[in-house]
Structure formats: structure tokens, C-alpha cells
Structure 1
Amino acid sequence: MSSIEELSKSLVREYLSRKGLKKTLSVLDEEMPRNSQSISNRQILAKTMHIEYLMKKNKEDSVPLKTMIEVMTQYFVRKGGAVSTSGATDDKKRKSRPLQKNDVEPSRILVAMPPKATATTKKEDSLLFEDIEDEVDISPAPRLLQNSGFRGAGSSFQGVPIDLSTAMSLKSIIFGNAITFFNSEWQRQSFVFCDICNLEYGLVQFKGGPCGLLASLQAYVLKHLLFTEHKPRQYIQLINYFYSFCQHTFRFDERERRRALLDAMADILWQCGGGQRACLARVSSSEQRSFVGSVPGRYKSDRLTERLTLMYADTKADVATLLKNNISQFENSSGNGAILFLYCVILSRGLENVMLDMDDSKGRLMGMHGYCTQEMVNLIITGRASSNVFNGEIDLDTGGSKTSLLKGIEKRCDVGFLSLFEHYGSCQVGSFLKSPKYPIWLVCSESHFTVLFSSDVKILDDSKKRFDLFYYDGLAKQDEPIRLTIAMGGEGKHAEKDLIPPLELCIQTKWKRCSVDWNDTEPLL
């Protein structure tokens, strides 16, 4: 049960938000931070306050009031025989009247307990979610999510059990059917940091398969470790200073890594939700559920998906709180952290939206042998499951009157992408990925995803003729940092018959005619 103080603060926040008083709301959140009892969803707040009927009647007025405080104030003013002045012309037409059978008693409005259902409850008292749906911004949530029992980040972040339709759609988007499940490599993958000196920033991949997801998350972790507002400018300067004297090391403690991981996950989920909402899927502690009405042969139990509880948040702060409260489910070395995070990403984007993002509506996010498709990687790093890596969209003439729309990247991304396939002419990586906002790139080479990065943002303007990049492969069991020195204006040091490392070929798709010095590290062939 929410305290009266927290309910009051939630009502004030709802008022400030609906009135567009963003600066005042920001000050309130700073002076009185939200917590697990704060209610950020209007449906839940109306239900907790027992004013669903008042909200419905207000919605039916020709000039409805915008906020719950105004609705309740108007109610009490009417009960006192006065006429509200906030509704202008429309309010003049409203007359005080005796309490009707279906009105809400004043004593019920301020009681913060959920209504109890009884056998004699009348239809007009049992209001539906749709009754006030248009008063809350829930875009761009698809119908499948809207119909799955949306609950915002309420007093205790209460979630809803996943239903059969959502579970089937979720698995079908990943595998193409609802009877396949993740292989053992995925099932054993969680988010664990490396414990080797100077590589503490790296997430460890145990087996082949989920490298696309892990490298994508790794890129965002590095973004928060090196560049975000949590790092004072002096700290970054100190890192750069140590480059020259400490063999280019990166040292981060447990607190910094945990914070970067949480911020990275929140970034990705919030971006997938279009900056409007996000979903967190967690495994319920209850026994495995059985879906009533499931059709044999169409859905196969996997002992994980059926146990999911879905929790939704409509502010990024609430997303961060949800992740912090449930981070152990993603970090547990014997858990399914990678699978859960993929579920969160898909549900945050929306099941229908993911399908519409892809060139082929029957496409899927999982490739052969448990490898991540380009659609999965793009979904994580850009928020959209587009099938291509060029800028914008291309209408492909397939002959006759029909054209196929090929969907690429719509804007400059926080982290970038380089591909060996571009070297071989199989794809074109656009500038939105080649020149990201931060000097961090996923590298796709021979069906494996790794990460290149630098702490020097100046390399993005292509003005530097010599600079360092660091390379990290979570699967390679690195025992020391790999530093590559890039020099512009050369053709490399390789003889004609030498085998050129694929990583160098990927780098040269971004920095043409550069040479790569591995600095006494054995080149990766």
C-alpha cells in the first residue's frame, strides 16, 4: 500500500507533467527523488485513488479537465454546493446535485487500497483500461503490448505474467516458430566482467553464439565508462595522461562497472522504446506456469519463457530503478541473462514494431547455429531491427510494377559498426554507423562480433593522422589489452603474399589506405 505522502507526490507530478511544467517537475524530482513507491502511470494512480469513475465522467465532459487534482477538486467543490471556475464556459453549465448511486464517496478517494471485487459489482463500476486510454501517452507501443496488461512503473513495479500469445510471438520473432528455444551457449550466458588486470571493462563471452548481443552491450558499457556525464572532465584527462606512462591501461572498479552496465542497459531499452516506455522481463520465483489453451505442436515449453513477469516503465529513471532492482537476474553466472535482455529489448521495441522494422516481415533475429542476425544487432545498437547498415531506405526495383523497400539506419548512432563484408563488397556501411557520436565500433568479421574503441573523440573528425584504437574480444580469452596504432596515408606494411588480418581490412573500410601497427601483439588472423 502506498503511503499518503507518496500518493500526494505522485498526484503533484501528474499535475506538473500534464500542465507541461517540465522545469518545475525536474526540480521536484531533484528535491524529492522518486522511489519504489512512486506511481508514474495514470491508470494505476487513478485506480489506487479509487477515482476511475470520476475520470470517466470527466472524459465525457465537453471540456474535460486535464489533471487528477483538478478532477478531485471539482468533485469536492460540487459536493460543497459551489461551482468550479477552472472549466470556464463549460463549468457554468454544471450544477451541483445530490450524490448519485454511482458516484464515488469522498471517503473512498483518499484511501490507498486496491478496490475489492464483489459478486454484486455493477458493470458501470468495473471500468476498463480503454476508458481513459487516450489520456496517457503509450506510443509507440504495439497492440500486442497494449493488450498484454500494461502496468506502468507503479508503487511496487508490479508486473503481469506473460500470456501465451505474447510468448508465441516473442519466440517466433527470434526463431521463426514457437517450438524452438535457445541453444546451450545462450542459456549459459550472463553478464560477467573480466577479472584480468587492465581488461576489467570487458564482458566475458563463455561460448560462441551470443557475441552480437554481448558486443553491442559492451559498446554501450564503454560509452558510459569513458564518456558520459558520470565521468568528470578531469577524469577523462587523467586517463589520457596515463596513456603515455602506463602502457595505455584502463582501470575501473566494481562500482564503476556495475553503474556502467546498468546505464548501458537502460540506454538500450529506452532507445528501443522510442523514449516513451521500456519493458523489463524477469523470471518469476513461482513454479513454472502452464499456458491454458496452448496448441500441441505450436508452442513448446522451455521452462523460462512461461515464467516471465513483464514490468513496464514510462520514464527512463524508472527503467534504471527496475534494472537495479533486478540486476542479479542478468549477472547470475548460472542464469539466462543474455536471453532475458534480448526479451527486454524486443518487448521494449514492441513485437509488431520489430516485425515492421525488418525488410522481410517473416524475418527473424536468430541465425544459424545460434548466431545473431544483423537485425538483432541493429535493434540493440540503434533501437530498430532494420535489416541493413546503409543510411536511410532504398527502393529496390524488382521488375514490373513492384518495388521492395530496403530499410537501413535512420540517424547517427551513439556507437558505430564496421564489417568485413563491406571489404568484400557484400554490403555498404553508411556514415551514421561509420562516424558515430562516440569513438566505439562493433566489428563484424567472419560471423563474429567484437569491439574497437578509443577515448579520444577527436579521431571522429578524421583530422588526426595517427591515433590508437583498442580492441576487445570477449570470447578470445585475452590476457592483456590489444593496442593498435593507426597511421593515415600509408598502404600498410604487408608484402603482396602476406595474409592481411581481417581486423585490418575492417579498419580500412573506415580509414582508407591506413597502416595498422599491432605494437608487438601477435596479429589476429
Structure 2
Amino acid sequence: MMAETLPSAIEQELLGIKNLLWGNEIKPEIFKRWSQGFYFSSNEKSALEQAEGGPCAILAPVEAFIIKNLLLEFKDFSFRDKVNEDIQNRSLVNALCEILGQCNAKKYYIVYLDSDLSDPVSKTDLNGDNTSAATPLVIDPCRFHNEIKVHHFQCLDGVNKYYTENIAKIKAPYGVLLFLYSVIASKGLEQITLESDTQDPFIDETYGYGSQNLINLMITGRATTYVWDHDQDVGGLKLKGVEKQSQIGFITIMEYHRYCTVGSFFKNPIHPVWVIASDTHLTVLFSEERRLVSPETKCEQAKRVFKSFDPYGNNFISADKLQDVLNALDLVSEPEYVNIMKKKLDNENLGIILMNAFLDEFFPREDSSTPDMFTLVHYNGLPQSNVNGQVHFHIGSAILLESDIKSVCESNPMLTILQTKWPNIEVTWCDNITPSVN
């Protein structure tokens, strides 16, 4: 079942979505940067291309789901040479539907334009090259919002069929925005407001970047503000984080700057694919090495639980929290035993327990599930951020060093971000060119 007209309730919902995303005013230059379609690079057939800065908050997660599904289908990076237009279209539609499906919607509202506003303009029309990339038109945001319409579907199969039959609309100008509006409409403005701990617009009014709420919504289906595991009590406020292990992961340079703490659910996703955030941009990192996301060992679980009682990342907890940690790990937690362990682990009576001392006592000599050497592949959708101005995957050989001392190099933001996930990592990139995360 689908509806062509806009019931008044949906009209109000779309007005609310407009305000949620843009705030009180939409800057034309920011709206223009977001007004692109989903299209693939002519150089790297499975890589979405980004025209200008801004919509990476949508494009990077969609690309991450595309890569995740291609790795599952082809078992390894061989998909790079096998992707054709049919696989492109199927992969794009499946990724969009998977992101919508994570919203747990009761009904799916697909926002679309049924006018020349969404007619694709190929790059062939503009500069003679042979790509099908849609080029944004200059348009008044008011006209765009006045002309959007809504289909509704009872199930994802209907959405998949619609997108498959209307693939040109997804690739045409405004395809990214129309999908974003569809996600929020399907999720429901009320539910998104309940999940979000901010009053700020989801698209930055000054620079046009997508907020963490928007990134989390695209990756997990929940528009939470924070990236730690579960909800946390901070000063009496219950702040919502990531609910469960995600399909794809997320790591960020903001953790290095100590602006946030990324939890295990994001750092250790179900599949070896991560959206990675620099100060200004989102890109994607992935590997065909499944052992990077193998089930947690007991020691890794203990680290995660211990850190959940150490929100500031100090690698120690108050001695008074020991019983809670032991209880969370299903270890002996009777008061008499806890008091004995407190004295042993805090023999100087400082009132704190170090994580390493805790792990050595309860989980000694456990081998890591992570291999010492593996291949990483990086994607950046901005042509100007790639070698020769063409989007392509960049391959690196990673090694995890035995030393506990990591090399800090602030001039290498890629390494800095990777070290938030693998503290002792070193990567040798193809042609000795470190890919840009900006």
C-alpha cells in the first residue's frame, strides 16, 4: 500500500524533520552541498563518490554497509574487480533498506520528488566524460520542501522493490537528502527526539557537518548523542549511548582528543568495517580479516566491563566499584571475598584499582583473538582527497607491535585514529602514501 498525497500529520512531520535537520534557517550553500544523489565512482566501481563536504554523514555509513554486504557475498576483497552496474544498484538498494530496517519502523515512509527537480543531469552533459553521476542543480530550499511527497510501505520488501524500480531517483540530485528524510520519517520524529540528548540541529548550521546523532542513526538506527556502550549516568543525568554491538563500527579522532569515549560495541562491530571520523570528515576502513571481529575473549569482555566503570578512561576504578565489576562479570562478588581482593589489588590503600592489576589477577596469560598482521583498506569519497583526484580504495599492511609504548604522531591523523582501536598498530600503505581522512 502506498499514498501519493500528504496527510496533514505527515506534512507536520516533514516540517518537524526540516527543523530537526536544519534549525531555524537553511543556508543555501550548505543545502546545495547536501543536494547530491548516490552515485558510484567511475574509477572504483563499488565506491560512492561525494561531490562536496557535508553529506559524508550519510554517504560514509551507506558505503560501509555496501562494503559489508559485498564482503559477505564475495568472501573477500575480490568484489573490487567483479562489480558491475547491476551489482552496484542491488548493493545500494540493499544498503539503504538495511539502514531503514534498523529503525524498527512500523511503517516505512519514503520521501520523493515527482518533478524535474530530481531529474538527473549527467556529467556528460557538463564536461563530456562518460559517467552517470548526478550533478546538483541550484535550487531554493523552500521549493524543494514544498514539492516533496511521500509513499508509505508496510514492509521493507515494498521499499526494496520501489527503490529498485526507481533507482534513477536515488542517483539523481537530492537522492541523499530524500533518503535522509525517509529514514527520519520512518523512524518517527517523536522517537528520534526521545533518543537524542541535544537541541542542536543534526546538520551544523555553520559548516554543514552531520552531527553524531545523525551518524549514530545511520549506523545503528538510534539517534543517540554518545558513542559509549549502553546508557551512562553522568552527574545524575542518564545519557544514551550505543545499545548493542553494531553491524559496522565507528572510531574517531575525537577520542584521542578525549572529547568522547568510544565503547566496545562500536570498536568491535559484527563485521570488520568501520566508519572513521577525523575533525571534519567521515571515511571508511575495512578488512577481509574476520578475526578482527571474532567473539570477545573473556579478557576482552573484562576490559570492556571494567572500562564501563571508568568513564573518564583513566584505566583505573574506585576500589568501591570492585564488587560491581565482579558482579557484572559473573565472578565471585560476596563482600568478604571482595574485601580480600581490595587489599590485594590496592595494597597501598590508595582507594583505586588499576585495570592491568585486575586483569592479571583474574584473566592471566590469555592470548588475544586479534591477529598480529592483517590488511586494511581505506575509502574516502571525496575525489580531491584521493591521489590524482580520483576515488579509489587504498590498501595498507598492518602489524600490531608487541611493545606497550605507542608512537604518537599528530601529523598523521590516520594513525592517530587507528591507535584508538589498536594502540600498538603500525601500517605501511601502498606506495608509501598515507590516505587522507579529511
Taking structure 2 as the reference length, the TM-score comes to 0.70
Contact preservation (8 Å) 2:202, 2:214: yes
Q: Are 2:155 and 1:322 aligned?
A: no
Match of 1:465 in 2: 372
Higher normalized contact order (CA 8 Å, seq sep 6+, divided by chain length): 2
- Of 134, 152, 177 in structure 2, the residue corresponding to residue 312 of structure 1 is 152
- Taking the aligned partners of 2:418 and 2:278, their CA distance within structure 1 comes to 11
- Taking the aligned partners of 1:286 and 1:503, their CA distance within structure 2 comes to 41
Match of 1:339 in 2: 177
Q: Quick one: structure 1 residues 382 and 499, their matched pair in 2 at CA, closer, same or farther if it must change by over 3 Å?
A: closer
Contact preservation (8 Å) 2:45, 2:83: yes
SS of residue paired to 1:266? helix
- Taking the aligned partners of 2:273 and 2:218, their CA distance within structure 1 comes to 15
Match of 2:63 in 1: 218
Match of 1:6 in 2: none
RMSD over aligned CA atoms reads 2.7
Q: What amino acid does structure 2 have at the position aligned with 1:260?
A: S
Q: Are 2:256 and 1:409 aligned?
A: no
Q: Are 2:2 and 1:169 aligned?
A: no
Contact preservation (8 Å) 1:168, 1:178: no
Q: Quick one: structure 1 residues 287 and 489, their matched pair in 2 at CA, closer, same or farther if it must change by over 3 Å?
A: closer
Q: What amino acid does structure 2 have at the position aligned with 1:467?
A: F
Match of 1:278 in 2: 108
Q: Please report how far the alpha carbon of residue 510 of structure 1 lies from its aligned counterpart in structure 2 after TM superposition.
A: 0.9
- Taking the aligned partners of 1:494 and 1:216, their CA distance within structure 2 comes to 29
- Taking the aligned partners of 2:174 and 2:7, their CA distance within structure 1 comes to 17
- Taking the aligned partners of 2:92 and 2:219, their CA distance within structure 1 comes to 15
Taking the TM superposition and a 5 Å limit, the aligned residue runs for 1:44-63 are none
SS of residue paired to 2:143? coil
Contact preservation (8 Å) 2:406, 2:423: no
Q: Quick one: structure 1 residues 250 and 387, their matched pair in 2 at CA, closer, same or farther if it must change by over 3 Å?
A: farther
Match of 1:364 in 2: 201
- Taking the aligned partners of 1:454 and 1:493, their CA distance within structure 2 comes to 25
Match of 1:507 in 2: 418
Match of 1:348 in 2: 186
Q: Are 2:347 and 1:435 aligned?
A: no
Q: What amino acid does structure 1 have at the position aligned with 2:373?
A: R
Deviates more, 1:504-513 or 1:157-166: 157-166
Query: After superposition, what is the alpha-carbon deviation per residue over 1:225-277, rounded to whole angstroms, capped at 9, x for unaligned?
Result: 221xxx2xxx42xx46x6xxxxx9554111111100000001111212x1533
Query: After superposition, what is the alpha-carbon deviation per residue over 1:355-397, rounded to whole angstroms, capped at 9, x for unaligned?
Result: 111113x232111311111011111111111001001111221
- Taking the aligned partners of 1:472 and 1:179, their CA distance within structure 2 comes to 30
Taking the TM superposition and a 5 Å limit, the aligned residue runs for 1:21-420 are 154=1, 157-161=2-6, 163=8, 164-177=11-24, 183-196=30-43, 199-227=44-72, 231=73, 235-236=74-75, 239=76, 250-272=81-103, 274=104, 276-285=106-115, 302-332=142-172, 335-360=173-198, 362-367=199-204, 368-397=206-235, 403-420=236-253
Q: Quick one: structure 1 residues 182 and 303, their matched pair in 2 at CA, closer, same or farther if it must change by over 3 Å?
A: farther
SS of residue paired to 2:432? coil
Contact preservation (8 Å) 1:162, 1:306: no
Contact preservation (8 Å) 2:109, 2:182: yes
The count of residues paired between Structure 1 and Structure 2 equals 333
Query: After superposition, what is the alpha-carbon deviation per residue over 1:191-239, rounded to whole angstroms, capped at 9, x for unaligned?
Result: 110111xx21110001111111110111111122221xxx2xxx42xx4
- Structure 1, unmatched stretches of 5+, are 1-153, 243-247, 289-299, 398-402
Query: After superposition, what is the alpha-carbon deviation per residue over 1:416-475, rounded to whole angstroms, capped at 9, x for unaligned?
Result: 001001112111111111111111000001221000011222221343110001001001
- Taking the aligned partners of 2:405 and 2:434, their CA distance within structure 1 comes to 13
Match of 1:488 in 2: 400
- Taking the aligned partners of 2:113 and 2:434, their CA distance within structure 1 comes to 42
Match of 1:59 in 2: none
Contact preservation (8 Å) 2:405, 2:424: no
Q: Please report how far the alpha carbon of residue 170 of structure 1 lies from its aligned counterpart in structure 2 after TM superposition.
A: 1.2
- Structure 2, unmatched stretches of 5+, are 119-139, 295-368
Contact preservation (8 Å) 1:281, 1:343: yes
- Taking the aligned partners of 1:203 and 1:524, their CA distance within structure 2 comes to 17
The percent of aligned pairs where both chains have the same amino acid is: 28
Match of 2:352 in 1: none
Q: Quick one: structure 1 residues 491 and 275, their matched pair in 2 at CA, closer, same or farther if it must change by over 3 Å?
A: farther
Contact preservation (8 Å) 1:420, 1:444: yes
Q: What amino acid does structure 2 have at the position aligned with 1:424?
A: H
Q: Quick one: structure 1 residues 494 and 423, their matched pair in 2 at CA, closer, same or farther if it must change by over 3 Å?
A: closer
SS of residue paired to 2:276? strand
- Taking the aligned partners of 2:29 and 2:13, their CA distance within structure 1 comes to 17
Q: Please report how far the alpha carbon of residue 301 of structure 1 lies from its aligned counterpart in structure 2 after TM superposition.
A: 6.3
Q: Please report how far the alpha carbon of residue 348 of structure 1 lies from its aligned counterpart in structure 2 after TM superposition.
A: 1.2
Contact preservation (8 Å) 2:395, 2:429: yes
SS of residue paired to 2:431? coil
Q: Quick one: structure 1 residues 356 and 521, their matched pair in 2 at CA, closer, same or farther if it must change by over 3 Å?
A: same
Q: Please report how far the alpha carbon of residue 477 of structure 1 lies from its aligned counterpart in structure 2 after TM superposition.
A: 3.8
Say which one has the larger Rg: 1
Q: Quick one: structure 1 residues 518 and 512, their matched pair in 2 at CA, closer, same or farther if it must change by over 3 Å?
A: same
Q: Please report how far the alpha carbon of residue 189 of structure 1 lies from its aligned counterpart in structure 2 after TM superposition.
A: 1.5
Q: What amino acid does structure 2 have at the position aligned with 1:384?
A: R
Match of 2:345 in 1: none
Q: Quick one: structure 1 residues 501 and 524, their matched pair in 2 at CA, closer, same or farther if it must change by over 3 Å?
A: farther
Q: What amino acid does structure 2 have at the position aligned with 1:463?
A: T
- Taking the aligned partners of 1:161 and 1:305, their CA distance within structure 2 comes to 12
Q: Quick one: structure 1 residues 456 and 212, their matched pair in 2 at CA, closer, same or farther if it must change by over 3 Å?
A: same
- Taking the aligned partners of 2:266 and 2:258, their CA distance within structure 1 comes to 17
Contact preservation (8 Å) 1:193, 1:202: yes
Match of 1:451 in 2: 284
Taking structure 1 as the reference length, the TM-score comes to 0.59
SS of residue paired to 1:408? coil
SS of residue paired to 1:441? strand
- Of 429, 432, 437 in structure 2, the residue corresponding to residue 518 of structure 1 is 429
SS of residue paired to 1:304? helix
Q: Quick one: structure 1 residues 278 and 218, their matched pair in 2 at CA, closer, same or farther if it must change by over 3 Å?
A: same
Q: Please report how far the alpha carbon of residue 159 of structure 1 lies from its aligned counterpart in structure 2 after TM superposition.
A: 2.8
Q: Quick one: structure 1 residues 325 and 492, their matched pair in 2 at CA, closer, same or farther if it must change by over 3 Å?
A: farther
- Taking the aligned partners of 1:301 and 1:438, their CA distance within structure 2 comes to 38
